[in-house]
Amino acid sequence: MAVVLQAEALGYAYQPGQPVLRDVSLSVAPNAIVFLLGHNGCGKTTLLEILGGIRAPQAGRVLFNGSDIRRIPAHKRAQRVGMVPQMHSPVFAYTVRQVVLMGRTPYLGLFGTPGRQDYDIADEALEQVGLGALRDRPYTDLSGGERQLTLVARGLAQQTDVLLLDEPTAHLDPHNQRSVLETVAELSENRVSFVISSHNPNSALLYAHHVIVMKTGRIVAAGSPSDVLTEDTLSTSYDMPVEVIYSEDRIARAIVPRRNGWRADKTAVKQEQV
């Protein structure tokens, strides 16, 4: 199987003796959507930063098309692997187009300014995520979903092979969550691979090609959604009882937390009383 991005035995600690990543290995195939799941503090964001070459691992290495990513010059690395952060509010009221143009920075010289080609690439990226009509609107005036799609467009303007998305649907309503993830799914069919950190296993169930579940800096399970998103794995990783709801043909349809002491007949009793 072809691999575009690969991590080998990664380790990292912010404080000596307190590792946040321990022996983490993974592979990202071309056009793949990989979800990283796990509770807060399990190392997902740190892993994304190391995969993107933003942070150097203290053990192991990351390979991009077989080359150590830390040995690739920063501007060249940014042309191949992009990082889309969690939604933020900038200090200045940049237009949507200006925010997306920031993705062209790796292709400009030290004092370079965007040219016609850069504007065309930014505009194409906005069209790809469905925001072409909003390019002149202040970024600060957008809805949460539109802001997140703008950041995805900025990543696309980098023309990278891999985009790393850190909690792209956090704080978004269900409609905007779906809009962002449907856009990701469409883009993955073209030329981009995605690695997405998330707290939502249902999103992974619907959109992931490959799922990695983490706990305390380690990978506890990795594989296809049907193999990984099980009650035992998720209950162990999230330290709470989790239920997977299946269709009649045993296809997983939803993942929900299970209440302590909950029984199915309680709902029926309440309905009869009403």
DSSP string, 72-128: S-HHHHHHHEEEE-S----SS--BHHHHHHGGGGGGS-TT----HHHHHHHHHHHHH
* pLDDT tens sequence across 78-136: 999 999 887 666 667 899 999 999 999 999 877 778 999 999 999 999 998 899 999 99
* pLDDT tens sequence across 234-250: 999 999 999 999 998 88
Looking at residue 239, its amino acid is: D
Asked if 187 and 32 touch (Cβ cutoff 8 Å), the reply is no
Mean pLDDT of 44-67: 95
Q: Cα separation of 119 and 249, whole Å? A: 50
* pLDDT tens sequence across 139-195: 989 988 888 889 989 988 998 999 999 998 887 888 888 988 998 999 899 889 999
Confidence at residue 230, expressed as pLDDT on a 0 to 100 scale? 93
Residue 118 tokens, joined: 């850069």
For the chain, domain boundaries = 5-225
Q: How high is the mean pLDDT of the chain?
A: 89
What confidence category does residue 41 fall into, taking pLDDT thresholds of 50, 70 and 90?
confident
What is 5-225's CATH number?
A: 3.40.50.300
Q: Cα separation of 224 and 222, whole Å? A: 7
Confidence at residue 17, expressed as pLDDT on a 0 to 100 scale? 87
User: Is pLDDT at 274 greater than 80 in this prediction?
Assistant: no
